[in-house]
Amino acid sequence: MRPVKFASLLLLAAATAAAAQPPGVVIPDWALPDSPTHKQVAPPLDFHREPVTLNKPIGIFENQTDVGAALVPGDASYDAADKSYTITSAGYNIWYTRDEFRYLWKKMSGDVSLAAAISWPDPSGFGDRKAALVIRQGLNDDSVEALVAQHGAGMVHLARREVQNTRIKDMEYRVGSRGGLPGGATPDSLMPLHASRIGIEKKGDVFQLWVSWQGEKMHPEGAPITVHIKGPFYVGIGFASHLPAAVSTAKVSDVVLENKAGRMK
């Protein structure tokens, strides 16, 4: 049913063209990302796809799910030596009223400290791809959730879907340097800075973003938000290429996951 055979072809396409449409995969227009030739829009309100769960534990996580069943399946591996997860996924986005991403999760109740370092095997990939630390009520694509995500272009946000099948809201942070990072065309070119580490803390219904931008001690960033998520819920790490049918890859390292607040490190 799902075109596994296109996966390797799509790997090649992901780095170069956001819009390259693989043969045999029909991409709905609403699923295309913003580009000079397309204005990104929300999915139709009644559009949903069932999650595909694999029964495949990985590292500290109980299982894996392609939330919202992207048009091509995801994949993940765990390197026990350096304790890092490599997640490969397509997925139009984690935004609007529904999500598509590969999710590595476990079930928990109570408070949570979840933190990780994100890196990009292909730094030139699509700027809007995102690796996320996600706490969700369910595995359905439109679930209530709170998440912290780091994007390919460096942006970090704390996002939440307060009510099922409603539009996500966020608070975004962008950091860059003029003259202090390599690669600028001129000394005045603004070059993006990628965070050293990101985290999300759940204390009751209150969720706080934590960041270390340049190796400084992890600290809360911005105001906490309130989302009502009742136990047991899903906690884990996810990745979406922000391309409906093209996979891309993120590496998630040094994951801290504790069933308590105040354990951010």
Partner 1 sequence: MRTILLAAVAAFSVSSAFAQSLVPPPAPPGIDVPDWALPQSATHKQVPPPADFHRASVTFNTPVGQFDQQTDVGGPLAPGSATYDAAAKTYTINSAGYNIWYQRDEFRYLWKKMDGDVSLAATVNWPDINDFHDRKVALIIRDSLDDGSRQIMTAQHGNGMVHISWRPEKGSQMTDVEYRSARQPRAGTDEKGPQTFHPTRIGIEKKGDAFQLYISWQGEPLHAEGAPVTFKTNGPFYVGVGFTSHLPANVLTAKVGDVVVENAAGKVR
Q: Name the residues that contact partner 1, by CB under 8 A.
A: 167, 169-180, 187-188, 190, 193, 213-217, 219-224
Give which of 139, 135, 144 is closest to 109, Cα–Cα. Answer: 135
Encode 61-70: b = buried (16+ Cβ within 10 Å), e = exposed.
bebbbbbbbb
Between 13 and 156, whose beta carbon lies closer to partner 1?
Answer: 156
- Give the other-Cβ count within 10 Å of 159's Cβ: 22
Dist. CA 44–CA 42, nearest whole Å: 6
The least CB distance from residue 187 to partner 1, in Å, is 5
Dist. CA 106–CA 76, nearest whole Å: 15
DSSP symbols for 193-234 = ---SEEEEEEETTEEEEEEESSSSPPEE-S--EE---PSSEE
Between 25 and 193, whose beta carbon lies closer to partner 1?
Answer: 193
The least CB distance from residue 83 to partner 1, in Å, is 24
The least CB distance from residue 164 to partner 1, in Å, is 15
Between 83 and 178, whose beta carbon lies closer to partner 1?
Answer: 178
Q: Are 190 and 176 in contact (CB under 8 A)?
A: yes
DSSP symbols for 74-113 = -EEEEETTTTEEEEEEEES-EETTEE-EEEEEEEE-S-EE
Q: Are 221 and 213 in contact (CB under 8 A)?
A: no
- Give the other-Cβ count within 10 Å of 139's Cβ: 18
Between 5 and 174, whose beta carbon lies closer to partner 1?
Answer: 174
The least CB distance from residue 174 to partner 1, in Å, is 5
Between 78 and 95, whose beta carbon lies closer to partner 1?
Answer: 95
The least CB distance from residue 178 to partner 1, in Å, is 5
The least CB distance from residue 34 to partner 1, in Å, is 12
The least CB distance from residue 215 to partner 1, in Å, is 6
Between 187 and 262, whose beta carbon lies closer to partner 1?
Answer: 187
Between 72 and 209, whose beta carbon lies closer to partner 1?
Answer: 209
Q: Are 207 and 70 in contact (CB under 8 A)?
A: no
